Homo-oligomer: A and B are copies of this chain.
Amino acid sequence: MAAMTVRERGTRRRDEEVLAAAARVFARRGYADASVQDVADELGILKGSLYHYIDAKEDLLFWLMEAVHGELQAIVDEVAQTEGSALDRLDLYVRSHVLYTLDNLERVSIYYHDADSLSEERLAAMGSLRRAHERFVSNLIKQAQAEGSADATADPRVFTQCVFATIIGTYRWYKPGGRISRQSIADHCARFVLSGVVGA
């Protein structure tokens, strides 16, 4: 890959600033009630300048969701390249995904709360990305079953959903700065999921 020029790096930084501002505004006001004007105000620019980047508010939502997906894909890629048993890799996956969720509450909550506001075509595109991600976790569980370390009588599709629910659920109840550290939450979730998958 060619090195980025100074100009490209500047563009990328501005894109990230726009997405971060959109995430804050959508999280605060709710996507349905937020306007492009609100995002422009958050950035301290004119609405017309923001329309250099986007055609409509939905573009910001879609780009945010693409960004979350890309960041989750980086976790999947790292876990896929890690040596070890399927359970070891599931443990790493759960810890990494929980920490990512706790560190990105605004954009993660939009990712799970507002997908229905996407156009049909974009919703379908996000759906197929999510299904690929689910297959990765489902395959880890199937491998653990094949290795004899997970409950082989369970349907891996249902356990995959239980694993996702445990991880994703954290964005609903985690309060930054609370009594339980983010590392402790990642640790609890990983232990809960691994014991759940291993079975009695």
Mark A residues whose CB is within 8 Å of B.
30, 32-33, 113, 116, 151, 154-155, 157-159, 161-162, 164-166, 168-170, 172-173, 180, 184-185, 188-189, 191-200
Are the C-beta atoms of A200 and B192 separated by less than 8 Å? no
What's the number of copies of this chain in the assembled complex?
2
Add 11 more A-B contacts to A155-B188, A192-B197, A198-B200 (CB < 8 A).
A30-B32, A32-B33, A151-B191, A151-B195, A154-B191, A155-B180, A158-B184, A162-B166, A162-B169, A165-B169, A191-B196
- The distance in angstroms between the C-alpha atoms of A172 and B162, with both chains bound, is 11
Are the C-beta atoms of B30 and A188 separated by less than 8 Å? no
- The distance in angstroms between the C-alpha atoms of A184 and B192, with both chains bound, is 20
| 12 A-B pairs with C-beta separation under 8 A | A151-B195, A155-B184, A157-B180, A158-B180, A158-B189, A161-B170, A162-B188, A165-B172, A191-B199, A195-B197, A195-B198, A198-B200
Are the C-beta atoms of B158 and A188 separated by less than 8 Å? yes
- The distance in angstroms between the C-alpha atoms of A193 and B200, with both chains bound, is 11
- The distance in angstroms between the C-alpha atoms of A32 and B151, with both chains bound, is 43
- The distance in angstroms between the C-alpha atoms of A116 and B26, with both chains bound, is 13
Are the C-beta atoms of A191 and B180 separated by less than 8 Å? no
**Max count, chain B CB within 10 A of own CB: residue among A191, A193, A198:** A191
- The distance in angstroms between the C-alpha atoms of A151 and B192, with both chains bound, is 10
Nearest residue (CB) in B for A162 is B192
Minimum CB–CB distance from A127 to chain B (whole Å) comes to: 12
Are the C-beta atoms of A192 and B157 separated by less than 8 Å? no
**Top 3 A-B pairs, shortest CB-CB distance:** A165-B169, A196-B196, A192-B196
List, in ascending order, chain B residues with CB within 8 A of A194's CB.
200
Nearest residue (CB) in B for A171 is B165
